[in-house]
Structure 1
Amino acid sequence: MTTTSPSTTTHEKRTVTLVFAALMLVMLLASLSQTVLSTALPTIVGSLDGADHIAWVMTAYLLGMTVTMPIYGRLGDRVGRKPMLLIAITLFTIGSLVGALAQDMTVLIAGRAVQGLGGGGLMVLSQAAIADVVPARDRGKYMGILGAVFGLSSVAGPLLGGWFTEGPGWRWTFWINVPLGIIAAVAVVALLHKPTTERARTRVDFLGMALLALATSSLILAATWGGHQYDWNSPQIIGLIVTTIVGAIAFVAVERRAEEPVMPLALFRDRNFNLTTVGVIILGVAMFGSLSYLPTYLQMSVGVDATHAGLMMIPMMGGMLVTSIVVGQAVSRTGKYRWYPIAGALVTGLGLFLLSTIEIGDSRWQIEGSLLVLGIGIGLGMQILTLIVQNSFSHRIVGTATAANNYFRQVGGTLGAAAVGSIFTSRLTESLATRLPSAGEAHSGSSSLTPDSVAHLPQEIHDIVVTAYNGALMPIFLWLAPLTLVSALVLWFVHEKPLRHTIEASKQEESLGEQTLDATEAMTGAER
């Protein structure tokens, strides 16, 4: 038995702190990119005359992020987090440059897609790398802080977006990522030195990756276009649905035989993984579906500018930040975690219900109170679900498991954002066409509407437009609320396993080959 000197322990703690600081910066990059455009979005689509494609600005990023998450997770386990993080940061920064220079919606959406290709790695690898340096029992407080970073960015992003929109211009919502990306890359190079798990021979599951991308992309396109650009029974949508099903079946068949599967099927033999997967999909639909369009609603219907729309989101950030940190500390101290995601799902549902009751003319404190409740709910369980998954598998595949969990959350989030965006746009366009049949091209459609143009409309038309925005969006929150109840019910059956006090796999696990490991994981998962 070996002992550890106080100086060694102090050095290790300092190393963990520095590595965690770098990972927080990476997480900040990923989370800011999902929120900074929210307050700037109405001005952007008005400037580029593309409100009909408003859903794609969010969906393109989420789609790129979702498709790449399992790939980053698996390759991170094989060749190391550091090189994969640098690739992700590079892609993210390039996408930001494309978005900053865009002169039309097509280029802007392309830039967001490239951002997403990098963002998938930023989100997954920052969480997986914590497992390299912190055991599961102590990991809760670190995961809680990462959740707080996400909560902080949920308000800092809209505030920055509002400030940029009213100051130097909306393009700075993209330019800001360039220096941040450079700083993040330098921090990763300088601080992240954890040894990799690279083997002498690493086979890349290219076919599995391609099929996963095909199935995921087809699913998201069907959700985005269905009922909006094409009828649900149109050949285009039916073709996408068929492609999704065929691609998913082919993906499963390939993964069963792949030597190094991008998403090992052994994961699905673990009870907690399956339950948290269902839970995060449902919560992803509710959370991303609601958060994507709230700042737009505040500008259009409440009549505040972009900066004040961001300020009105502060209560939600406060709720997320406080509960994420408190819950993380509590989990690390007690080792108990089962009830937090259940409570989080229920409180999130309450927040969505409160938002659905808001009408034109309601006080701002009522809106902010509803956002506070929503933030508390999200903060209670968001990061703990990732911890549950990481604690269910050996360190050898913790990145793969983390990526799979994030992938399914993003699938839910992408579907939620796409569905809410499609329904919102369709309802808004239909409402404006019905209520303003004789208003002329300038006001009968939604493509050229910006917060500033709405504020300067004649009073009668202004009232019709803001009422249409409220009527198009707020009922959707009520439709999302029951999903959180289903998530709480599913998470009720999660088994609370003891959190491990060590990082490295046992000597027995280290001596096993990959195929033996997967078989062992499958058998132990089946017993669970």
Structure 2
Amino acid sequence: MSHRQVIQSLTGLLMGMFVSILAGTVVSTSLPVILSDLHGDQTAYTWVVTATLLATTISTPIWGKLADLSNRKVLLQLSLLVFVVASAIAGFSQDTSMLITMRVFQGLGAGGLTALSQIVMADIISPRERGKYMGLFGAVMALGTVGGPLIGGFITDAINWRWNFFVALPFAAIAIILIQKTLHLPVQAKRKVSIDYAGIALLSAGVSLLLIWVSLAGNQFDWASSTTALMVGGAVAALIAFVIVEVKAAEPIIPLSMFKNATFTLSVVASISVGVSMFGTSVFLAQYMQLARGANATQSGLMTIPMMAGLLIISTIAGAMISKFGKWKAIMVTGSVLQLAGLYLLGTIHYDTNFVLVSVYMFVLGAGLGMVMQNLVLIVQNAVTPAEIGVASSGIAFFRSLGGTIGVSVLGALMATKVVDTLGGRAAELHAAIAGLGTQGKALAASLASGNIPAVNGLPDSVRSIIESSYGDSVAFVFMVAAPLSILTILAVVFLPNLELSNQTRDQREKADAGEARHGLDGLDDAEQILVDASEALVAATPAPAGNLDEVRDADKSPARS
């Protein structure tokens, strides 16, 4: 395919990715308003966020396996349709139960878009050329991640929060039409399909229990409690059963044989760490901007642009270099080191750190993620067989999402504990500041005692500095705790086999492999024919024995005959 044809084919795919990211981020700034309007509590707030992450994480490998078994184009349109319909219905939610249910279906659709976008790229672009197109995905991610909260805040203030769920509908309709008209994929050979239903059920149960436990432990029940024992025990039992089923399944969801491939195994390790960095920073940087620097939701979105700029710019440059020179190892090692450096530097910030410095630290982290995240998928697709590209791609996305979800929950729990400890250490100072406010101080004290933090930018200066300082130090603590995980990324990338990038698309590789197999059979046929011809020549050259059968037998037994 020419560059023009590739761009045309990717147009609908990129639009679909934009829809997914936009619909996921546009509600982030309006969730407090939504939950207040629907009379939801803190538990409902947690579930609105967690439900989508759970569904996305669980469904990603399932979509990837389905992509290896059936029509990818139809699956891509189906996942987009599921996502959009769920978003539209969520806009009509009358209570939190309806909203959470629709968020689950949004996650199912998002899982398909996450897995299938990478798989479709492998169908039409060779690994060597794929690097330069990764920048387009980085641009879409940055645009959706930064633009979503800004659009959501504006829509909530200017119109109504329900329109946040409708804003993606026209983009989705355009994406489905573009995919139908412009995306032309190679025809897959028909074969018997076997769906691993038991594997799907056990994986869903095991991962759901584990992630629900991580999300709720420490808030709804103690970490060390009977509920924890039941949930963790159930999750472990389900995952062990899943492994047993996968060994015996004809078409496993996650073939365990994939872990014999060093590239896949090491990329899984790196993806878990990258997931913590990617998802964790997006959550805690927003809290830092709002709670430590007094920004509102729209301002916090603008203030995180340096990180997205680093991801976008550097990923584009790195992708172009990989396509031009065919070398990826040095770029990914550099990116993993920058990831560690960015997290460490963010671990040193305070509420009053010069924002130019904070912007530089965010840019460094974004640059590191941009050089590693998408290229992990690239090198795995290059290292596996064409038949395994779908499940391998979705496997990397699955473990990245899993790491991000668990990381956010665990780091969030650590941050909550750190905030309590920090404020407790300054309790006398805080009480003195509140006491000087009279009636306003009593209301503020009641609010803080209940666990609610009012809008920081609306607090009196005497109290505001204490709250901002406590949250600033707590967010920095979270980044410092997350930094050592990046050492895993560095080690995994260093030990990745330095395989040469192929110049063939998935379809071309399949045809080439089939051709080699046929050539091998033809060579075997030629060898067999040579043996037959030699045997016939040997028989023809051997003189026929004369005489009766007894004489022949006697001749066979003679020393000369022997």
Asked whether 1:156 is paired with 2:147, we answer yes
Instruction: Determine the structure 1 residue equivalent to 2:543.
Output: none
Q: Which moved more, 1:271-280 or 1:298-307?
A: 298-307
How many angstroms apart in 1 are the aligned matches of 2:347 and 2:58? 32
Among 475, 478, 496, the residue aligned to 1:473: 475
Among 353, 366, 372, the residue aligned to 2:363: 372
Deviation per CA, 1:339-369, whole angstroms, max 9, x where unpaired?
2222222212222222222222233223222
How many angstroms apart in 2 are the aligned matches of 1:249 and 1:485? 28
How many angstroms apart in 1 are the aligned matches of 2:3 and 2:514? 25
Among 480, 505, 509, the residue aligned to 1:505: 509
Among 447, 450, 466, the residue aligned to 1:445: 450
For 1:237, the aligned partner's letter is T
How many angstroms apart in 1 are the aligned matches of 2:305 and 2:489? 26
Contact residue 415 and residue 477 of structure 2 kept, 8 A? no
Contact residue 353 and residue 477 of structure 1 kept, 8 A? yes
Q: Which moved more, 1:194-203 or 1:130-139?
A: 194-203
Query: Please, what TM-score do these two structures have when normalized by structure 2?
Result: 0.82
Asked whether 1:144 is paired with 2:116, we answer no
Contact residue 41 and residue 296 of structure 1 kept, 8 A? no
CA shift for structure 1 position 310: 1.4
**Superposed, which structure 2 residues align to 1:115-264 within 5 Å?**
115-197=106-188, 199-264=190-255
Q: Which moved more, 1:368-377 or 1:189-198?
A: 189-198
How many angstroms apart in 1 are the aligned matches of 2:100 and 2:418? 23
Contact residue 295 and residue 457 of structure 2 kept, 8 A? no
For 1:81, the aligned partner's letter is R
SS in 2 for 1:217: helix
Contact residue 165 and residue 306 of structure 1 kept, 8 A? no
Instruction: Determine the structure 2 residue equivalent to 1:517.
Output: none
How many angstroms apart in 2 are the aligned matches of 1:322 and 1:362? 25
Among 266, 290, 314, the residue aligned to 1:275: 266
Contact residue 127 and residue 502 of structure 2 kept, 8 A? yes
How many angstroms apart in 2 are the aligned matches of 1:198 and 1:444? 64
Instruction: Determine the structure 2 residue equivalent to 1:489.
Output: 491
How many angstroms apart in 2 are the aligned matches of 1:153 and 1:296? 19
Question: For residues 222 and 114 of structure 1, do their structure 2 counterparts lie closer, same or farther at Cα, with a shift above 3 Å needed?
Answer: same
**Superposed, which structure 2 residues align to 1:281-296 within 5 Å?**
281-296=272-287
Question: For residues 423 and 46 of structure 1, do their structure 2 counterparts lie closer, same or farther at Cα, with a shift above 3 Å needed?
Answer: farther
How many angstroms apart in 2 are the aligned matches of 1:356 and 1:54? 27
Question: For residues 169 and 481 of structure 1, do their structure 2 counterparts lie closer, same or farther at Cα, with a shift above 3 Å needed?
Answer: farther
Instruction: Determine the structure 2 residue equivalent to 1:99.
Output: 90
For 2:450, the aligned partner's letter is G
Deviation per CA, 1:311-339, whole angstroms, max 9, x where unpaired?
11111121111111111111111111112
Contact residue 78 and residue 197 of structure 1 kept, 8 A? no
Among 296, 299, 302, the residue aligned to 2:293: 302
Asked whether 1:79 is paired with 2:70, we answer yes
How many angstroms apart in 2 are the aligned matches of 1:67 and 1:130? 22
How many angstroms apart in 2 are the aligned matches of 1:232 and 1:334? 50
CA shift for structure 1 position 229: 1.8
Instruction: Determine the structure 1 residue equivalent to 2:372.
Output: 381
Instruction: Determine the structure 2 residue equivalent to 1:516.
Output: none
For 1:301, the aligned partner's letter is A
Question: For residues 46 and 352 of structure 1, do their structure 2 counterparts lie closer, same or farther at Cα, with a shift above 3 Å needed?
Answer: farther
Contact residue 12 and residue 177 of structure 2 kept, 8 A? no
How many angstroms apart in 1 are the aligned matches of 2:44 and 2:420? 12
Instruction: Determine the structure 2 residue equivalent to 1:355.
Output: 346
Contact residue 352 and residue 480 of structure 1 kept, 8 A? yes
Question: For residues 75 and 157 of structure 1, do their structure 2 counterparts lie closer, same or farther at Cα, with a shift above 3 Å needed?
Answer: same
How many angstroms apart in 2 are the aligned matches of 1:103 and 1:444? 31
SS in 2 for 1:401: helix
Asked whether 1:405 is paired with 2:409, we answer no
For 1:505, the aligned partner's letter is R
Question: For residues 280 and 238 of structure 1, do their structure 2 counterparts lie closer, same or farther at Cα, with a shift above 3 Å needed?
Answer: same
For 1:191, the aligned partner's letter is T
CA shift for structure 1 position 144: 3.0
Question: For residues 368 and 37 of structure 1, do their structure 2 counterparts lie closer, same or farther at Cα, with a shift above 3 Å needed?
Answer: farther
CA shift for structure 1 position 460: 4.0
Contact residue 153 and residue 297 of structure 2 kept, 8 A? yes
How many angstroms apart in 2 are the aligned matches of 1:210 and 1:479? 34
SS in 1 for 2:78: helix
Q: Which moved more, 1:373-382 or 1:298-307?
A: 298-307
Asked whether 1:27 is paired with 2:27, we answer no
How many angstroms apart in 2 are the aligned matches of 1:102 and 1:206? 31
For 2:345, the aligned partner's letter is L
SS in 2 for 1:102: coil
Q: Which moved more, 1:130-139 or 1:271-280?
A: 130-139
Contact residue 61 and residue 112 of structure 1 kept, 8 A? yes
How many angstroms apart in 2 are the aligned matches of 1:376 and 1:323? 5
Contact residue 127 and residue 379 of structure 2 kept, 8 A? no
Contact residue 52 and residue 425 of structure 1 kept, 8 A? no
Question: For residues 198 and 415 of structure 1, do their structure 2 counterparts lie closer, same or farther at Cα, with a shift above 3 Å needed?
Answer: farther
Asked whether 1:317 is paired with 2:308, we answer yes
Question: For residues 318 and 440 of structure 1, do their structure 2 counterparts lie closer, same or farther at Cα, with a shift above 3 Å needed?
Answer: closer
How many angstroms apart in 2 are the aligned matches of 1:291 and 1:383? 17
CA shift for structure 1 position 66: 0.7
Deviation per CA, 1:382-429, whole angstroms, max 9, x where unpaired?
111100110011222211110111111111011112223333345556
SS in 2 for 1:391: helix
Asked whether 1:112 is paired with 2:76, we answer no
CA shift for structure 1 position 77: 1.6
SS in 1 for 2:483: helix
Instruction: Determine the structure 1 residue equivalent to 2:524.
Output: none
Contact residue 91 and residue 117 of structure 1 kept, 8 A? yes
Question: For residues 185 and 426 of structure 1, do their structure 2 counterparts lie closer, same or farther at Cα, with a shift above 3 Å needed?
Answer: farther
How many angstroms apart in 1 are the aligned matches of 2:156 and 2:301? 12
RMSD between superposed Cα atoms in Å: 2.6
Question: For residues 200 and 270 of structure 1, do their structure 2 counterparts lie closer, same or farther at Cα, with a shift above 3 Å needed?
Answer: closer
SS in 1 for 2:184: coil
SS in 2 for 1:101: coil
How many angstroms apart in 1 are the aligned matches of 2:514 and 2:206? 34
Contact residue 63 and residue 116 of structure 1 kept, 8 A? yes
How many angstroms apart in 1 are the aligned matches of 2:423 and 2:35? 17
How many angstroms apart in 2 are the aligned matches of 1:457 and 1:221? 34
Among 333, 337, 343, the residue aligned to 1:342: 333
How many angstroms apart in 2 are the aligned matches of 1:42 and 1:443? 17
CA shift for structure 1 position 252: 1.3
Q: Which moved more, 1:175-184 or 1:75-84?
A: 175-184
Deviation per CA, 1:130-175, whole angstroms, max 9, x where unpaired?
1111111111111232123223322222322333344334433322
How many angstroms apart in 2 are the aligned matches of 1:499 and 1:29? 31
Asked whether 1:14 is paired with 2:4, we answer yes
Aligned length: 500
SS in 2 for 1:309: helix
Contact residue 56 and residue 109 of structure 2 kept, 8 A? yes
Q: Which moved more, 1:316-325 or 1:502-511?
A: 502-511
How many angstroms apart in 2 are the aligned matches of 1:398 and 1:219? 27
How many angstroms apart in 1 are the aligned matches of 2:34 and 2:292? 18
Question: For residues 292 and 109 of structure 1, do their structure 2 counterparts lie closer, same or farther at Cα, with a shift above 3 Å needed?
Answer: farther
How many angstroms apart in 2 are the aligned matches of 1:46 and 1:194? 46
How many angstroms apart in 2 are the aligned matches of 1:316 and 1:202? 43
Question: Greater RCO between the two (CA within 8 Å, min separation 6)?
Answer: 1
How many angstroms apart in 2 are the aligned matches of 1:361 and 1:277? 37
Instruction: Determine the structure 2 residue equivalent to 1:63.
Output: 54
